[in-house]
Structure 1
Amino acid sequence: MPKQEKEFFDPNTLSWHRPEGYPDGVWELIVTEDKKTNEFTRLLKFASGTETTNILAHECWEEVYIIEGGLICGEQVFTKGMVAVRPPGMKHGPFKTPVGALTYEVHYRRSKE
């Protein structure tokens, strides 16, 4: 089933849970998803002091907007209002979040042109 069509709604009606493979202190709220293609839109929340250990690379495109807080990857500091656009296979992480963070993410596949 493709991602669900949803008009404006209160995301507080949805449930937060820890995403598979993430450490304690990380929660996701799936806004809409296609389980068949693993395309989804979510909010991802990091508690203050959380550190991930994995280097990630996805099979799909990923776009991320930092709504609150910030993330540190190596020597790079990413803060509120910054955006990432990652093509399939782009490596990123691990991340530290000394102040915590809230991100909005869209994972999608591009159709072949």
Structure 2
Amino acid sequence: MAKPEFEFFPVTDVEWTVCPGDNPLITERILSKDPEGGVATRILRYQPGADSSAMGVQIHDFWEEVYILEGSFLDLTLNKTFTAGEYACRPPGMPHGPWRTDEGVVTFEARYRSVE
């Protein structure tokens, strides 16, 4: 199955929900999701002071593209801060995070599986 078809709609109509890991400072708006493949397009928000250390380093079995819309966060493994306007393309198996932010950060993320 694939993500459903949507025409333009206000993103603000989608509620913020707490992400897996249950940290109330880390929330997401799921814009589109493939229920069978488990991949989604979302807006991710870390409130000021959020820290995902409890979730550890993340490794996915899908592609993930991330664009930072506003704010910044620190990759605790790389000890490097990434800021608004920066982009990442992560192939399956690429380790990343955990993250911490003092000011907060909002990202746009597209996740998908390769079609071979």
Q: TM-score, normalised by structure 1?
A: 0.94
SS in 1 for 2:95: coil
Matched length: 112
Shift of 1:50: 0.7
CA displacement 1:52-109 (0-9 Å, x = unmatched) = 1111000100000000001101321100000000000110111011110000001100
Shift of 1:23: 2.0
Q: How does 1:1-113 map to 2 (within 5 A)?
A: 1-53=1-53, 54-74=56-76, 75-112=79-116
2:50 alignment partner AA:
T
Task: Give the Cα separation in 2 of the matches to 1:105 and 1:31.
Answer: 10
Q: TM-score, normalised by structure 2?
A: 0.92
Task: Give the Cα separation in 2 of the matches to 1:89 and 1:79.
Answer: 23
Q: Which 4+ runs in 1 deviate beyond 6 A?
A: none
Task: Give the Cα separation in 1 of the matches to 2:75 and 2:2.
Answer: 33
Task: Give the Cα separation in 1 of the matches to 2:14 and 2:81.
Answer: 30
Q: Provide the aligned C-alpha RMSD in A.
A: 1.0
- Note the residue ranges of structure 2 that are not aligned, 5 or more in a row: none
- Note the residue ranges of structure 1 that are not aligned, 5 or more in a row: none
Task: Give the Cα separation in 2 of the matches to 1:12 and 1:79.
Answer: 23
Percent sequence identity is 38
- Do 1:22 and 1:52's aligned partners in 2 also have CA atoms closer than 8 Å? no
Shift of 1:8: 1.3
1:100 alignment partner AA:
G
